[in-house]
Amino acid sequence: MSRRLSLCIVFCWSLASGAALAQSPMTESEAAARLSLESPRARAVAAEVDLARAAVAAAGRWPNPTVTASRESVAGVREDFLLVSQALPVTGRRSLATASAQEQVRSAELRAADVLRRLRVDLRHAFVDLSVEEARQRELVTALEALQSLAGVLERREKAGDAAGFDRLRAEREALDVASMLGDVKARRARAQGLVASFYFPVPDPSTLHAAPLVTDRPALPPADELVANAEDRRPDLRALEREIESARLAVRTASRSLRPEPAIVAGLKTSSVGADRRGSVLSVLATIPVFDRARPERAEAAARERLAAARRDALRAEIVATVRGLRLAAQERRAAADDYRREAVPRSDELRRIAQVSYDAGERGILELLDAYRSAADARLRLLELDGLSAAAEIDLELATGMEIRK
């Protein structure tokens, strides 16, 4: 009984711990690390690599032997043959074809790594959206509580004869507008939670996923030349094209080896119905002479593959140079805009609200000016959240283009 009780306690504690973990906010790095490699998306990527590995096995296989049984009968003399023929791939074509297929496997592995990298980028974009929406919800809740508190104060003043009913009604009307905005933000937050949950397997309850606030204190961006060099060295899709070029070069050599005759050995037994020694052996050597089929289509196809992969590689390199520099500039501008707004606009909006409150209490300003100050302060914080989200998205796009971790 005590053992069962202990097991029940441990089980309940595990459930409670799991629920607490699910409810705790995730950081951006934690969200990316939880991307499941068992999800259908990841399994589809792995299946493409398995297809390339199967091509290696197909290229390296030996040809099957051929067994021939025949009988010849002429003028009462019968001869039976039992022959086995085996082609001998001694020209090196099979090993070259295997090497070409292995380069395709390396290319497929690099492309799979690139697909998973892009999946993580999509997940991080979804995380940023979730973090921004949850922060908006918190700001709107704070703004709504402030307006409701103001409306409550005005209601008490109205009953005491110190304030007009218009002021209370106008404050309540402003609170209703904020409440409607809050409902819209909650809907967008739920949608963002569902999108984040779709990257995990098994799919968790979206309502249990929460994002920590975005980190705004980040190191300076690396120089543009360093980012470009890193992208050219580490981008999996660029390295995959290099492997495809090498595979095509090996395929050209494979096709050229087809011009060399590959021998086939035929060996077996022969029996005859006449004569003292009726059993004998057969041994012959065959070779295909490339007179008509000189592998021209195969060589042309492999050469075209090489030119295509080389053109794509050169185009991607040119795109990387231009894109990385542009994305770095965009990320830098996004950072500067968010930092300037955080330093200048938000404190001034808060100070404006404080001054408006004091002036209203002193009877120097009306309710509309006070509510405008409330709205301005809330809008400033919401705008800052939007700028932080845009800055994070720009940095994530820069990471995708460079293959370099920036948002550490």
Q: What is the pLDDT of residues 328-372, one digit of tens each?
A: 999 999 999 999 999 999 999 999 999 999 998 888 888 899 999
Q: What's the pTM?
A: 0.81
Is 2 within a domain? no
pLDDT in tens, 32-58: 888 877 777 788 888 888 888 888 888
φ/ψ of residue 271, rounded to 5: -125, 145
Tell me the HSE value of 1 on the side-chain side, using a 13 A CA sphere. Answer: 0
Q: Strands of 168-208 (E only): list them.
A: none
Residue-wise burial string across 211-227, b where 16 or more C-beta atoms lie within 10 A, e elsewhere: bbebeeeeeebeebeeb
Question: 85: which strand partners?
Answer: 66, 266
Pairing of strands 66-74, 263-272: unpaired
H or E stretch covering 361: helix 346-361
Radius of gyration of the chain (CA): 37
User: What is residue 274's predicted lDDT score, i.e. its pLDDT?
Assistant: 78
pLDDT over 90 for what percent of the chain?
A: 59
Tell me the HSE value of 208 on the side-chain side, using a 13 A CA sphere. Answer: 11
φ/ψ of residue 220, rounded to 5: -65, 150
At residue 20, does pLDDT exceed 70?
A: no
φ/ψ of residue 60, rounded to 5: -95, 0
At residue 277, does pLDDT exceed 80?
A: no
| Domain of residue 87, residue span | 26-402
Is 323 within a domain? yes
Residue located via tokens 């104060």? 153
What one-character DSSP code corresponds to residue 309?
H
Is 19 within a domain? no
For residue 155, with 0-12 CB atoms within 10 Å meaning exposed, 13-18 middle and 19 or more buried, which class applies?
A: middle
Is 234 within a domain? yes
DSSP secondary structure letters along 372-408: HHHHHHHHHHHHHHHHHHHHHHHHHHHHHHHT-----
Is 379 within a domain? yes
Is 17 within a domain? no
Number of independent structural domains in the chain: 1
CATH code, domain carrying 269: 1.20.1600.10
User: What is residue 14's predicted lDDT score, i.e. its pLDDT?
Assistant: 38
What one-character DSSP code corresponds to residue 207?
G
Which of these, 199, 211, 215, lies nearest to 25 by C-alpha position? 211
Residue 6 banded pLDDT, cuts 50, 70, 90: very low
Average pLDDT over residues 62-85: 88
3-state secondary structure of 90: coil
Is 4 within a domain? no
Is 395 within a domain? yes
At residue 259, does pLDDT exceed 90?
A: no
pLDDT in tens, 182-195: 999 999 999 999 99
For residue 191, with 0-12 CB atoms within 10 Å meaning exposed, 13-18 middle and 19 or more buried, which class applies?
A: middle
> Which of 118-132, 182-196, 275-289 has the least mean pLDDT?
275-289
